[in-house]
Amino acid sequence: MKKLFTSESVTEGHPDKLCDYISDSILDSYLEKDENARVACETVAGKGEIYITGEISSTADIDIEKVVRNTIKEVGYENSKYDIDYKTCTIRINISKQSPDIAQGVDKSLEDREGENIESEGAGDQGLMFGYACDETEELMPLPISLAHKLARKLTEVRKNKVIDYLRPDGKVQVTVEYENEEPVRVDTIVVSSQHLPEIELETLKKDIMEKVIKTTIPENLLDKKTKYFINPTGRFVIGGPLGDSGLTGRKIIVDTYGGAARHGGGAFSGKDATKVDRSASYMARCIAKNIVANGYAKRCEIQLAYSIGVAKPVSIYVNTYGTYTIPEEEIIKKIENNFDLTPTGIINYLGLKKPIYRKTTNYGHFGKKDLPWEFVTKM
């Protein structure tokens, strides 16, 4: 049976991703000076203005405005005529400390308060988190999101390296893959929309993106005469970034994860320290799912973890291998329980989540990057 599946990615200049990057840059700045910082930082971007809000409790003293301007500069925004200028944009900051009601449940878990011998903080919130892996790619990610991230990254590379020197930071891509009997066989459709300078002709842009982005990124064996290409299909994309659309932290959660190939619990990642299980437990769930597939126990695997605020142990662990298991799923659950400490403190220690590693996660997906600790494979 044939079917089509589509995933999208965005460049670091997309207004939502810019907000994610600013939030994670602020988080890393605190963790560099205070590994126990409690950070929940949200960013809003609009015309000529960046608004920072949230809750931060830390011993560190950080120049947040400087971090914000440096991040915008790094992305490449320096022209308020077309997007936003890191030098002149207004930055408003409204940060308070973490609520003491939340802090008391994180500092000391319910189990600890009731006399159980569990050396762990409580979860920073309730929620459900999913992790996923499959054998479609070397990094054990779904092919559509893997290709979409590679295209988006390539768009940024050719801009920053001046291979296509008229591109601007904002951009989006979309890849549709055709599956036959659950196996990817070809790329059906590619959509690329890239911000550009006004003087460039559309046909020039289409040719450059086809030759210097698409054909250098997508494997030739996945393209054929029937593959459809839509490059800047509106015909013009000069106004971009927060001038074209407002941006908000946490609005690209499907781009950040599996491109829609797996379920999502709804919690965003960027700007949150690891006591927030929205982030840390999602990373752990990916680690578990990837190890199950890498160890040959299944071809596909989805893990769900769920937590109560203030409680250390997950309230549930769910495993779905879509019938591809090579050992019983009950045995897989036992391997998870025997190999992984799923309390917040256990996850933080196992993955080293007190380190300032989060800027590396923001762009082009939080999963599938070899240098991130939840991507490491061990024998289970």
Distance CA 121, CA 348 (A): 10
- Same domain, residue pair 306 and 363: yes
The count of other CB atoms within 10 Å of the CB of residue 30 is 25
- Same domain, residue pair 153 and 234: yes
The verdict on residue 53 lying in a domain is: no
* H-only helix segments in the chain: 15-33, 64-75, 100-107, 110-113, 143-160, 202-209, 241-244, 253-256, 277-294, 329-339, 344-351, 359-362
At residue 45 the predicted structure's pLDDT band, cuts being 50, 70 and 90, is: very high
The verdict on residue 58 lying in a domain is: no
- Same domain, residue pair 278 and 369: yes
- Same domain, residue pair 6 and 146: yes
- Same domain, residue pair 308 and 202: no
> Residue 122: its pLDDT value, please?
73
90-96/49-57 β-pairing: parallel
What pLDDT, in 10s, does the model give residues 344-364? 999 999 999 999 999 999 999
Are 187 and 178 contacting, i.e. CB atoms less than 8 angstroms apart? yes
Looking at the structure of the chain, the number of domains it has is 2
- Taking the model in full, what pTM does it have? 0.95
> Residue 121: its pLDDT value, please?
76
At residue 118 the predicted structure's pLDDT band, cuts being 50, 70 and 90, is: low
Provide the CATH number for the domain around residue 365: 3.30.300.10
The verdict on residue 296 lying in a domain is: yes
The verdict on residue 337 lying in a domain is: yes
- Same domain, residue pair 334 and 314: yes
> Residue 112: its pLDDT value, please?
62
> Residue 98: its pLDDT value, please?
79
| 321: pLDDT strictly greater than 90 | yes
Question: Mean of the pLDDT values across residues 60-87?
Answer: 95
What distance separates the 2 farthest-apart alpha carbons in the chain?
A: 70
> Residue 58: its pLDDT value, please?
96
- Same domain, residue pair 350 and 309: yes
The count of other CB atoms within 10 Å of the CB of residue 291 is 25
| 88: pLDDT strictly greater than 70 | yes
The verdict on residue 30 lying in a domain is: no
| 239: pLDDT strictly greater than 80 | yes
At residue 82 the predicted structure's pLDDT band, cuts being 50, 70 and 90, is: confident
- Same domain, residue pair 209 and 133: no
User: pLDDT > 70: what percent of the chain?
Assistant: 95
**Domain of 279, in residue numbers:** 127-137+258-267+274-375
> Residue 310: its pLDDT value, please?
85
> Residue 86: its pLDDT value, please?
96
> Residue 100: its pLDDT value, please?
77
Contacts of 171 (CB under 8 A, 6+ apart): 10, 11, 13, 14, 152, 155, 156, 192, 193, 194, 195
Mean pLDDT of the chain: 94
What pLDDT, in 10s, does the model give residues 272-285? 999 999 999 999 99
The verdict on residue 116 lying in a domain is: no
The verdict on residue 91 lying in a domain is: no
Question: Mean of the pLDDT values across residues 143-171?
Answer: 97
What pLDDT, in 10s, does the model give residues 4-32? 999 999 999 999 999 999 999 999 999 99
188 φ, ψ to 5°? -90, -45
- Same domain, residue pair 172 and 228: yes
What pLDDT, in 10s, does the model give residues 166-184? 999 999 999 999 999 999 9
- Same domain, residue pair 284 and 335: yes
- Same domain, residue pair 131 and 280: yes
| 56: pLDDT strictly greater than 80 | yes
Distance CA 216, CA 213 (A): 5
The verdict on residue 25 lying in a domain is: no
The count of other CB atoms within 10 Å of the CB of residue 223 is 16
Question: Mean of the pLDDT values across residues 84-109?
Answer: 84
| 105: pLDDT strictly greater than 70 | no
- Same domain, residue pair 148 and 220: yes
